[in-house]
Structure 1
Amino acid sequence: MIELLRRFGGKFRRYMVIGPACKLIEVIFDLLTPLVIAQMIDKGIGAHDVSAVVHYGMLLGAMAVIGISFTLVCQKMAALTSQGMGTDIRGALYEHINKLSYAELDRFGTPSLITRITNDVNQVQLAVALGVRMLIRWPFLAVGSMVAALAIDLKLGIIFLICTPAIGLVFWFVMARCIPYYKQLQAKLDRIALICREGLSGARVVRAFVREDHERERFAQAADDQAHVAIAVGKLSSILNPVTFLVMNLGVCAILWVGGIQVNVGELTQGQVMAFVNYMTQTLTSIVYVANLVVVFTKASASASRINEVLNCVPSITDEGNEPVALPEPNAAGAAAPVPALSLSHASFSFGAGAANAVNDVTLDLPLGKTLGIIGGTGSGKSTLVSLIPRLYDAGTGSVSVMGADVRTWPLDQLRHVVATVPQRASLVSGTIRSNLTWRDESATDEELWAALDMAQASELVRNKPQGLDASVEAGGKNFSGGQRQRLTIARALVGSPQILIMDDSASALDFKTDAALRHAIRERSVRGAAEGGLPLTTVIVSQRVSTVRDADMICVLDHGSVAGLGTHDELYASCQLYREICQSQLRREELEGQQGSATPASDSAPASTRAKEGR
């Protein structure tokens, strides 16, 4: 909590000084009030002097007005501080989360990050607000009341010395057992957020498989787990107030008993006894509120540690100190300089220490303007491999180079402008088609947007919308079909003239005719770029369809993260058993007849697993 105050409290320092100062003035009036009441009782009521009662009553009224005025100022300072810090913390969290690489995001998890940026920040806001408003009031009021009471009579002060430690003992007993529960509560909330996210985002799948009852049971179980912890905390916390007020009331009874005896013998006045009772009540009530403040601060401390865990997480991928990379220049004939667009040298990657490599020792070179097709079974590492190119992940060993420069030397903005990625899961955000298409280039003209839509085979889709480019897009693109979302995300990647286009199985929802037209348009774009004196478009296509990658200049066959084969379609059909099996499972007999002669007898005679290893 202190770390957050140091980091975000600087600009609110004056509010954090003015607010408690105003509250301190209010507390001074609260401490004077019992003395004024004592004088009213002794000099007014006891002496039957109406004018004295009116005089002290007016004084009490004036003190109340002044006190509430300072209280309102304190309330405003608390609101400005807590809301301002909460806004800044949320902004800093969101900004920092967007700097984290995929590795850190995988470690925290989306539901946990959402809980931290909402619930945890709310807990910190509440603690800051109460800190400005109450942190000075109750401790100062407790100490001040005790000093004032002891100044009235030392004998009655012994009652304070008995009651205060008793309440402190109860407070320690409860807090020592509550603090571990508060950390558990936040973890339980993370679990509830995870189940909610899965159930709501996958509502169609849940209903398609009639799993509503199962999901309700999952949620009920998570909610019950959270409720059990909350109830346990509530039971412990519920001890505080009753026991504290019991001790306080017993103390008041003792004061009235002992004070009444002293009044009878003339050692104290009735007003002094009443003042002592008021001070006793203020002291013990203050201790109760201090205990409640500690509960709030304990929750906030647990939340603050979770917030700091994110803020202190150093992104594993940074571009600090990287200078812009000069792109290769085409020669006079329009051909590109002999620099590979993409080069991987013994690149390997794993999701965490000790885990098996998701990408294992991959080496390949892709010339400018060529197309690389990547194919393999589910979980073979295709998406992970292409994530190394725009540096969404960093290779654990080996290197990945774009345009002849290691990706670690590129400024991230430049690298991800040169390399456009179409993710496996088509993702659109709420807004309009135009606002989604201009993510890579906010200054893109309508002509450039329509050109990208034409290449992505999405222009007809947009033209059929009454608002055209300004047609609305709902959150997640829910008002478009899967194929329409894919075409729009492909168009988005093509805006801004990228030099490398990565399509990570992003045409899986397209029919074969549209898929073929898309690949033809991309090839034309590459040829046209070279003919116009620019760099040709280099394409990386990830797919499980042989028809999508068979015309690629180079095909990489992956098997459990390793390269099982690398070459053209004809070369791989002849030499790579794994690729041949994929082709035989997808292509018609007449399409395969032209390939039969190229298959080697040796590869036909070996078992499939052995042949796959030989291909690697």
Structure 2
Amino acid sequence: MLLKLLRERLRDYRGWLAALVALQLVSVIASLYLPSLNAAIIDKGLSRGDTDFIWHTGMTMLLVTLLQVVAAAGATYVGAHTATGFGRDVRSTLFRTVGRFSGREVNQFGAPSLITRSTNDVQQVQMLVLMGCTMVVAAPIMMVGGVVMALREDVGLSWLMVVAVPVLAVAIGLIVSRMVPGFRLVQQRLDGVNRVLREQLMGVRVIRAFVREPYETQRFTRANADLTEVSRRVNRLMGAMFPIVMLVMNASTVAVLWFGGHRVGDGDMQVGSLTAYMTYLIQILMAVMMATFMVMMIPRASVSAERVREVLDTETSVAPPAEPVRVERVRGVVELDHVTMCYPGADVPVLRDVSLRAEPGRTVAVIGSTGSGKSTLISLVARLFDATGGRVTIDGVDVRELDPELLWGHLGIVPQKPYLFSGTVASNLRYGNPDASDEELWAALEVAQAKGFVEKMDGGLDAAIAQGGTNVSGGQRQRLCIARALVARPSIYLFDDSFSALDLATDARLRKALTPYTKDATVFIVAQRVSTITDADQIVVLDDGLVVGRGTHEELLETCETYQEIVASQAAEEVAA
């Protein structure tokens, strides 16, 4: 996938890349031409005292230098334009890929790792593309051209190139071979630091409530120290490359002056040719050093590219159908037919042989102890996961065959953990319907019992909401999420324990206002409190993934022992309170 993206990007920028190659070719040829002009000034102009020749050649050198500068700057611009565009496309593709992931794939990678892969890893690959665009053409041309021009000046010193270049290449190869596993470990340790930091930021209230700041500080210190230790080891290897390059370059310069000086003294070589030869040798080694920069970046970029490729090549377990079914109108008849759900790696299914039917205008409530599979059931209806057995249908069509956009466009989901996005009250509510008017927003807020506190907020609908809704209380956040689902006016409402943060009076008012608002829709309510679901048309009681009771509140009080225990336990808690 990553190589495919790069090839597509290169096809899109064929004109830019042709310009890049042309500009780098001009720049390299100009740099190779300059030493010959300098040698001509020394050997022909200064030795003969020909001032006109010196001025004429000097002006030519000035023009060639200006041409080189313009070409090099243009090549850098084109390379940067291509590399940044490639980075943009990779980040965009990663975002879309992760956006299609189900909870299974997100848990597989982990949120901190996905963030690192979408930012730091893409940046490493982008830098490699940039260096490749600016150096991969120039370095070979510089090296080959330098060898040819150096041999033109003097063949007797060619053995210096035969020695210097392989020595430098072998030394760099040995160092790079030890850097690759180090860079892979650096990225893994960076994931660890991000994971610890994210946990501490999101759980700061819990940390402070239990006075665990010293422990968390030690945990972050350990993760940070592990990253620092690996980074130092890799950086020491990187730091060794530059001294080796400079050592070979300086030793080569000394050798050229030493052996070339003897050849000048013997009359086998002119001074101008010696200076030109030394310049060409330095250019050859500079080309090797440019390749060194590339080689230095390749190990880390290859590790990052592999991590990005893992995400791009991961297929979501909730894959869209090859030939999706589209229906003209979704009525909202939901049916679970002998559904079984087992999470990857789990020993036992979380849901076993669950069957139920929900129709428009009716409310189905799901209740049970913690871990009985209530939220999983709601997730299957929304196709956040796919059932491992049986099937879930809407209007008789398996959700796995429906067009995903059609399915999700007719669902109004209020998650168990209410989440708001940074922006305003209005922008959050319009997630359900971008075209909703202010009147529709206020109507939804009134039903959700949120109109009162929103009116008191500075700006009303334009009041600021922090990321995650941290600037409003848990109950207010929950009511805003309910209002967001109501604004969409979907065919199917999924309330996943969405009333738990509300007091009994607010809960009762909300349910009373909700009934006429959702009278034409299918409503699923997952609840912990019995008082929230007493008016439901059908109550499904789950126990350890099995349906152990089904009926109205009054019917279950007579027939379902598990439901009787839940009612009795909550009544005892209310009396104790």
- TM-score bucket (shorter structure): over 0.9
Amino acid at match of 2:211: V
Any gaps of 5 or more consecutive residues in structure 2?
none
- C-alpha deviations, 1:357-405, integer Å up to 9, x for none? 2222211223432222222232222211110001111111101122333
Q: Which residue of 1 aligns with 2:494?
A: 502
Q: Deviations over 1:300-344 (max 9, x none)?
A: 222222222222222332144223225477xxxxxxxxxx83211
Note closer, same or farther for the CA distance 1:253–1:549 as it changes in structure 2 (3 Å cut): same
The equivalent position to 2:565 in structure 1, one of 581, 591, 594, is: 581
Q: For residues 265-304 of structure 1, what are the structure 2 equivalents within 5 Å?
A: 265-304=266-305
- What is aligned with 2:445? 453
Separation in 2, partners of 1:273, 1:365: 92
| Cα offset, 1:408, TM superposition | 1.9
Partners of 1:587 and 1:108 lie apart in 2 by 43
Residues 1:8 and 1:100: Cα distance change in structure 2 (over 3 Å): farther
Structure 1 residues 366 and 4 mapped into 2: Cα distance closer, same or farther (>3 Å)?
closer
Using the size of structure 1 for normalisation, the TM-score is 0.88
The answer to whether the 8 Å contact 2:496/2:526 transfers is: yes
Q: Separation in 2 of the partners of 1:39 and 1:4?
A: 49
Aligned to 2:349: 357
Counterparts of 2:574 and 2:220 in 1: how far apart (Å)? 53
Q: Distance in 1 between matches of 2:256 and 2:315?
A: 60
1:529-558, Cα deviation, whole Å (9 max, x unpaired):
4xxxxxx23221112212222332322222
Q: Which amino acid is 1:567 matched to?
A: G
Alignment match, 2:124 = 123
TM-score under structure 2 normalisation?
Answer: 0.94
Aligned amino acid, residue 150 of structure 1: L
1:491 maps to 483
The structure-2 alpha-carbon separation of the partners of 1:488 and 1:37, relative to structure 1 and needing over 3 Å to count, comes to: same
Q: Is residue 142 from structure 1 mapped to residue 159 from structure 2 by the alignment?
A: no
List aligned pairs for 1:229-240, cutoff 5 A. 229-240=230-241
Q: How many percent identity over aligned positions?
A: 40
Tell me by how many angstroms 1:267 deviates.
0.6
Cα distance change of structure 1 residues 326 and 25 upon mapping to structure 2, 3 Å threshold: closer
Q: Tell me the CA shift for residue 575 of structure 1.
A: 4.2
Any gaps of 5 or more consecutive residues in structure 1? 330-339, 530-535, 593-616
Contact 1:20-1:133 at 8 Å conserved across structures: no
Measured after TM superposition, the shift of residue 484 of structure 1 is 0.6
Partner-residue secondary structure (3-state), 2:524: strand
- Matches of 1:219 and 1:50 in 2, distance apart? 71
RMSD after superposition:
2.3
1:544-601: CA deviations, max 9, x gaps? 2122223323222223333333333344344444333322221149999xxxxxxxxx
CA contact (8 A) 2:478 2:501 kept: yes
Q: Tell me, what secondary structure is at the counterpart of 1:357?
A: coil
Assess if the C-alpha contact under 8 Å between 2:412 and 2:488 holds in 1: no
CA contact (8 A) 2:542 2:548 kept: yes
Counterpart in the other structure of 1:59? 60
Aligned runs of 1:554-573 on 2, under 5 Å?
554-573=538-557
The corresponding residue for 2:327 is 325
Q: Secondary structure at the match of 1:565?
A: strand
Shift of 1:114: 1.3
2:434 matched residue in structure 1: 442
Q: Distance in 1 between matches of 2:455 and 2:246?
A: 73
Change (3 A) 1:8 1:379: farther
How far apart in 2 are the matches of 1:46 and 1:523? Answer: 103
- How big is the shift at 1:162? 1.2
- Write the distance in 2 (CA, Å) between the matches of 1:300 and 1:590: 60
Equivalents in 2 of 1:567, 1:373: separation in Å?
A: 10
**1:174 CA drift (Å):** 0.9
Contact 1:4/1:308, CA 8 A, preserved across alignment:
no
The alpha-carbon deviation at position 490 of structure 1 amounts to: 0.2
The total of aligned residue pairs comes to 574
Taking the aligned partners of 1:31 and 1:2, their CA distance within structure 2 comes to 34
- The CA distance in 1 between the partners of 2:57 and 2:573, in whole Å, is 107
Q: Distance in 2 between matches of 1:270 and 1:467?
A: 81
**Following the alignment from structure 2 to structure 1, what is the Cα–Cα distance between the partners of residues 434 and 96?**
20
Listed as ranges, the matches of 1:471-486 within 5 Å are 471-486=463-478
**Counterpart position of 2:401:** 409
Q: Using the TM superposition, give the Cα deviation of residue 350 of structure 1 relative to its aligned residue in structure 2, in angstroms.
A: 2.2
Task: Tell me if the contact between 1:4 and 1:304 (Cα under 8 Å) persists in the aligned partners.
Answer: no
1:343 aligns with 2:332: no
Asked if 2 retains the 8 angstrom alpha-carbon contact of 1:507 and 1:515, the reply is yes
